[in-house]
Amino acid sequence: MAHVQRLVGTKRQLTGLIGRQGVGKSSALKALQMGKPLSLGGSTIFFKWRREGELFKALFEGAHEATNDFIYPYYEALIGQIQSLHTIRFGVAGFADAKLFSEIIERTKQRYEQYQTDRRPSGSDISWLENKLGRAMSRKLRQEVWLQTVRSRDFILIDTPDYSKTDKRRMDRDLEDIYWFWNKLMATGSGCTVVVAIQKEMFRGHYFLDKMKKFELKPLPPEKMVEAYVLEFNTLNPFSKDALLAIARMSRGIFRRFLRYILYTLDFWERPEHTAFIDEETARNAIPLGQLAEDMELEFLESFPKHSELRLLAVRLIFHLQENGPQKQSDLAREFEVEPSAMSRLLTKLESTGHVRRTRDGLDKVVSLQSAEAL
């Protein structure tokens, strides 16, 4: 709510909405577009970031969030451009006479009316007109109309894709393209505020990020995730509350992960020998450690880029602390059969990334989870 209030009434501001993969960045942007929890105080446009080729393909196929805002102005721009060329030099666009040109305009408008009914824009008229206009001029016109479409809004909400551990280069290219897109908007004199959702695990090492005013979307506490389940289904069934809390903790506050783990648990539970409801033990056994490690891998990739065994050990350590509470460092070394010096180095890494904290207890140290991140 506080983040939304700081956006209300802003102009020419570049904002980064930072959050872990699956934490709900897309949902947050959609809520802002719909004026929830409160209105931004101006017109908005929301869309997923796509590169130029993918962008216009999605716009013409009706798969883009802003198709309705773009497609008819582009029709009109194509017709206006061809009409202008036709007026300057008769026949330059390939028309036999003015009557044929009028028929083409009428046909395009009729196809748009059909699009308004079935919500699927026709690519045939666009292709025909673009062929008459030429590739270079059509591409320039596409870019101009797209920029006009977005610059007329007060708030532009851009949702970037989810990136895997091998997508760092792709993310850098996307950020570079968004940077130049933002520069073009500012060059037109637009007063819009641009909000870009960015994956926290990849949030490092790009100059564009330093130009943003940043807000972080925190993971949900386990209790809030359980509340959301009850709100949706009006019951805890077939789970016990402890079972849902265990799933929520394993999800690390990532709601998309929470829903996926619920499905895993339901599939695991549907066996004759299981009880009439899902208890905490069943929930814990339903999610393999390997799956937990895979889902948390991006969190530990920067700390342990070349050591998958250390990433797995870090996951095991996190969930051990989650289940058992604060532990002495020496006890953790014995529990995981790791040399004390190796455990110390591992914990130093996890402490630097905000996953754990250590406090002195005599000659030993007590290790506990950072409540804000580790839940």
Question: Binning pLDDT at 50, 70 and 90, where does residue 374 land?
Answer: very low
Residue 112 has pLDDT above 70, yes or no: no
Residue 155 has pLDDT above 60, yes or no: yes
Provide the percentage of residues in the chain whose pLDDT is more than 90. 18
- Same domain (yes/no): 62, 143: yes
Q: Look at phi and psi of residue 193 and say left if phi exceeds 0, alpha if psi is from -120 to 50, else beta.
A: beta
Most trustworthy range by pLDDT among 26-35, 111-120, 238-247, 300-309: 238-247
- Asked which of 269, 287, 305 is the last residue of a domain, the reply is 287
Using CA atoms, how far residue 111 sits from 82, 107, 134, 268, in Å, is: 18, 6, 22, 51
Residue 268, Cβ density class (10 Å: 0-12 exposed, 13-18 middle, ≥19 buried)? middle
- Same domain (yes/no): 144, 169: no
Residue 158 confidence (pLDDT): 94
- Same domain (yes/no): 349, 299: yes
State how beta strands 193-199 and 155-159 pair: parallel
- Same domain (yes/no): 320, 359: yes
- Asked which of 216, 236, 258 is the last residue of a domain, the reply is 216
| Contact predicate 167/117, CB 8 Å | no
**In this predicted model, what pLDDT tens digit does every residue of 81-104 receive, in sequence order?**
877 765 555 444 444 556 666 666
**In this predicted model, what pLDDT tens digit does every residue of 32-57 receive, in sequence order?**
888 766 567 778 899 999 998 899 98
Residue 307 confidence (pLDDT): 72
- Same domain (yes/no): 118, 70: yes
Question: Which residues pair with residue 199 across a beta bridge?
Answer: 19
**In this predicted model, what pLDDT tens digit does every residue of 194-245 receive, in sequence order?**
999 988 876 666 677 788 888 888 888 889 999 999 998 999 999 999 999 9
- The pTM (predicted TM-score) of the whole model is 0.72
- Same domain (yes/no): 60, 200: no
Range of the domain at 246: 222-287
Residue 6 has pLDDT above 70, yes or no: no
- Same domain (yes/no): 326, 367: yes
| CATH code for position 311 | 1.10.10.10
- Same domain (yes/no): 111, 135: yes
- Same domain (yes/no): 29, 167: yes
Residue 354 has pLDDT above 60, yes or no: yes
- Same domain (yes/no): 267, 299: no
State the total domains in the chain. Answer: 4
